[in-house]
Amino acid sequence: MTQAKLIDGKAFAENLRGRVAAKVAKLQDAHGVTPGLAVVLVGEDPASQVYVRNKGKQTVECGMHSFEHKLDASTSEADLLAVVEKLNADDAVHGILVQLPLPDHIDEAKVINAITPDKDVDGFHVINSGRLMTGQEAMVPCTPLGCLMLIKDTLGEDLSGKRAIVVGRSNIVGKPMAQLLLDANCTVTIAHSRTQDLPGECRRADILVAAVGRPEMIKGDWIKPGACVIDVGINRIPAPEKGEGKTRLVGDVDFAGAEQVAGSITPVPGGVGPMTIAVLLANTVTACCRSLGVAEPEA
């Protein structure tokens, strides 16, 4: 039995943040500009509050400006759109992120599509989806871009001809992930809840990306020996072994079974999770450079 190589997303993300900080310093030196990221939070969702706090902290640690806009849960759609418009017009703001989910009375797509596409560092604007789909310069969604970085770091830059499967077809993870793998010349299968013989589809893949949201659904015997397994899922399950009422995080892949078969695998936590904010910061630097019309500094 083999033991898969552990893909350390935490270490990769730390290194990426270091490279972002170096680029920020060079931009300041060469152009006197500090990249700025604005995060808008509507309401008091506890998980969203934690994300926003972490984003703000890591933005500042990289030497960038962080602008936080915390709005009441009762904020109207019109008022939120007015905040987005102000940020669109603000030259100190190079990236805008509206934290999802938004309260039910607000149309998420309308708000996301009100962000200037070039400042849409989450890459969720329909223009950026279209640009990604048609091979044009886009802002690329952070989680799938982070997954691609981990895959290339593990398997090498050239993924040509590899069979890849993406399990999940959401707009924020599954679809852009599949597009990125296609752009990297993989032969890509997109699987979802209606896919027939999912284990059989998975067993053919050299690269398996799981973005489902179902704890430990993908079993070890679904995995092709030696495959690269990227587990995007973050699921909280009861952990009675840790004590009454305790919980733990698991991915969409049954890690214990999969690591016996895979060539490489991301753990949960510590795999894909830490990549998302690091890529968000990298996207903000990219957006800043594009707005200045300058090449991104080397780091």
**Residues taking part in catalysis:** 55, 99, 122
Footprint of ligand NDP on residues 125-164 (CB under 6 A)? 143
Out of 234, 249, 292, 299, name the contact with ligand NDP by CB under 6 A: 234
Q: Any idea what DSSP says for residue 297?
A: P
- The answer to whether 253 and 229 are in contact (CB under 8 A) is yes
Residue 104, class by beta-carbon neighbours within 10 Å (0-12 exposed, 13-18 middle, 19+ buried)?
exposed
Residue with tokens 């100190």: 92
- The answer to whether 285 and 245 are in contact (CB under 8 A) is no
**Is 17 an interacting residue with respect to ligand NDP (CB under 6 A)?**
no
Which stretch in 11-19, 49-57, 116-124, 170-178 sits in contact with ligand NDP by CB under 6 A?
170-178
Q: CB-based contacts of 31: which residues, under 8 Å, 6+ apart? A: 292, 294
Kindly tell me which of 27 and 37 has the beta carbon lying closer to ligand NDP. 37
**Is 48 an interacting residue with respect to ligand NDP (CB under 6 A)?**
no
The Cβ of residue 161 has, within 10 Å, a number of other Cβ atoms equal to 9
Which stretch in 85-93, 189-197, 219-227, 253-261 sits in contact with ligand NDP by CB under 6 A?
189-197
Out of 111, 173, 253, 280, name the contact with ligand NDP by CB under 6 A: 173
For the record, the structure tokens of 171 come out as 């707009």
**Is 198 an interacting residue with respect to ligand NDP (CB under 6 A)?**
yes
- Measure the CA–CA gap between 189 and 166, rounded to whole angstroms: 6
Out of 272, 278, 287, 288, name the contact with ligand NDP by CB under 6 A: 272
Return the SS3 of 266: coil
The Cβ of residue 105 has, within 10 Å, a number of other Cβ atoms equal to 10
Out of 232, 250, 285, 288, name the contact with ligand NDP by CB under 6 A: 232
Out of 66, 189, 264, 276, name the contact with ligand NDP by CB under 6 A: 276
**Is 119 an interacting residue with respect to ligand NDP (CB under 6 A)?**
no
Out of 103, 213, 263, 270, name the contact with ligand NDP by CB under 6 A: 213
Size of the chain, expressed as the number of residues it contains: 299
What's the min distance (Å) between Cβ of 279 and ligand NDP?
A: 9
